[in-house]
Structure 1
């Protein structure tokens, strides 16, 4: 729990963000393309294009002066960019057509290229790569046609063919637009994939945490409530004929319920105070005698034995071993007609083996269980890389066998 929550207060763990590039660039690039009207950026771009085109007209006296029609074309092209997120394909073709019409009218070269560049970028980022490439390709081809073949039929009068050398920077500009747009698109896809992976990891860890809590509560409550159920039945049956035995049953119920409440409080306290260590240690195989006593209070005789040299297990393995034995004995109390059970703790090199046997037969009774006991045991073992085998023996009894791999806990 503590390891899962140390990155945040009371929420699912946060995965590390990509450290490529400065934070402001990542925040901007990870932002999903919006669907609203980008007023501010479009207004700034329109002002820049209008002012820049005015300066360009002063330095190109051989071109047509920037009159009302030319400024109208620039304004319409800028206005189209307001819709670049909602309708990127019509906008990229529309700006390309307006830019081509602007050049066909003989107006000066200048920032007008930015209109097509921004529209192309928006189309590529929104996933319309082919449309963006076609629009820029048609704009370039139209520019070649106007500058080298149709110039004599178009303003300004007396214009000559453009030198082929100027097509090199135009081609480089087009390639730069496409390359930059494709680069941003690829980075957005990578960051989107990273966000999806982080979200999936957070959901997976949250699911694992919920399963862990569910297993813990199930194991705590199922065992204690089974003991309470059995003792309540004994108390009711003997209340009139043997009051002293009924008193003993009620005492057992009180002790079992107190212990269950304590363990439930421990689980809930860990949930409510993320980042803090549990105030009481998690149970382990050292509390096996307590399980034997609780089982005895429920009328079950448990014989325990140990094989191999006992070693200190890591807390996670020790807790899983304790809960598996606890759940196995709970199932004997609930579902077996046998009143005896055998627990063997076998320490093997690199692990521990648990065996819980009863002689049966199964009674089919249910003391209020949910039927998730075996599933919970398998989940605990699988989380540690171990295995669980549970089934009827040939002689009619039942055996639970668990193998938990673990190295001995290092002592300072």
Structure 2
């Protein structure tokens, strides 16, 4: 059975495009020069001098990417000299026009305008000198062509600059998103591991059973953190790894956060109001991370004895609050660093069109409150008796 390899035609680009264009212009000018030679009447020195100019102008096109302005001025000058020797309106002018477009497309508008003005001035001088080959109409048409070429090059430069700026903005947003995700994954678990390790050391001799439970929680938390961190880094590396089998972070796993906090000595209660509904993935993840970070801050800095997580499902948004009876982050020991937890939570809420506030409660303690619009949220779901 014979196999056929289907090849797709790819137009030349880069230096290959320049070489193809230079060769094409050279062939067309050579044909025009052949007609000039067959017609006769031109002096031999004029004919001999035209060919080096033709070759130099076409060959210079191969260097326009490395020396764009120098090539542009050279092709303008050499082309002008060629038209002084030849009365054939050949296609050699295509080369300086291509060089002019390339300069304008790079954003070098001063050089492009100066070159275009020099070309118009040269043709105007030829007209004033009484040349029968050039008239006012030709000057007007050349001016229009050059203005169009410079304008097209400027538009190209603007589009490329806009695309590059959008790419930079997307890269910056992606870096911020990844930074928030890694901070929430690692920061939360490491903070709880720190608290649990301290509790295990404190209870090791007095209550070995509780110390063993705390060490087991440390093992479970670290394993989960490694899984999430590997998944995040796998996306960055873009390698072919097995997709994680554990459910994605969301409010369905809120009980795991409660269990981890309790092992760290922080009693947590969850109050839900309104009919639960399937949340869009970004809203579900943001809510989970906000609760996670709030519990981390409460365990590390507040000295709280009780924490309440309130989840209110309304028709248009999820309202959540994490309230504790501790001292809040303002009582953080000196030298522990500012962190970026509240700022990261605020960015998550704002990215979804919501808002987040964090501060002391009037009756004492600290509260984090957020509103997260559903956007394209689904219908309320029926809760099964648990």
Runs of 4+ more than 6 Å apart: 274-277, 366-370
- Match for 1:287 among 253, 262, 267? 253
- Match for 1:337 among 299, 303, 321? 303
SS at match of 2:129: helix
Q: Distance in 2 between matches of 1:382 and 1:275?
A: 32
Alignment pair present for 1:313 and 2:279: yes
Alignment pair present for 1:195 and 2:173: no
Q: CA deviation at 1:231?
A: 1.6
Q: Specify every segment of 5 or more residues in structure 1 that has no aligned partner in the other structure, as ranges.
A: 1-21, 103-107, 148-161
Q: Distance in 2 between matches of 1:186 and 1:275?
A: 49
- Match for 2:265 among 299, 307, 315? 299
Q: How many aligned residue pairs are there?
A: 354
Q: Distance in 1 between matches of 2:348 and 2:229?
A: 18
Alignment pair present for 1:241 and 2:210: no
* Cross-structure match for 1:53: 33
* Cross-structure match for 2:371: 403
The answer to whether the Cα contact below 8 Å between 2:53 and 2:78 also exists between their aligned partners in 1 is no
Provide TM-score, normalisation by structure 2: 0.77
* Cross-structure match for 1:206: 171
Q: Distance in 2 between matches of 1:39 and 1:361?
A: 73
Q: Distance in 1 between matches of 2:211 and 2:151?
A: 75
> Deviations 1:139-180 (Å, cap 9, x if unpaired)?
343245243xxxxxxxxxxxxxx5xxx656x834x5555444
Provide TM-score, normalisation by structure 1: 0.73
Q: CA deviation at 1:324?
A: 0.4
Aligned positions of 1:157-306 closer than 5 A: 162=132, 171-172=137-138, 174-271=139-236, 272-273=238-239, 279-306=245-272
Counterparts in 2 of 1:212 and 1:121: CA distance versus 1, 3 Å:
closer
Alignment pair present for 1:92 and 2:82: no
Instruction: Give the RMSD, CA atoms, in angstroms.
Output: 3.5
The answer to whether the Cα contact below 8 Å between 1:336 and 1:360 also exists between their aligned partners in 2 is yes
Q: CA deviation at 1:388?
A: 0.8
Alignment pair present for 1:357 and 2:357: no
Q: CA deviation at 1:275?
A: 11
Q: Radius of gyration: which is bigger? A: 1
Q: Distance in 1 between matches of 2:316 and 2:155?
A: 42
Q: Specify every segment of 5 or more residues in structure 2 that has no aligned partner in the other structure, as ranges.
A: 1-8, 105-111, 382-386
- Match for 1:141 among 107, 125, 137? 125
Counterparts in 2 of 1:306 and 1:179: CA distance versus 1, 3 Å:
same
The answer to whether the Cα contact below 8 Å between 2:204 and 2:211 also exists between their aligned partners in 1 is yes
Q: Distance in 1 between matches of 2:43 and 2:19?
A: 25
Q: Distance in 2 between matches of 1:361 and 1:236?
A: 24
Higher RCO (C-alpha 8 Å, min separation 6)? 1
Counterparts in 2 of 1:194 and 1:225: CA distance versus 1, 3 Å:
same
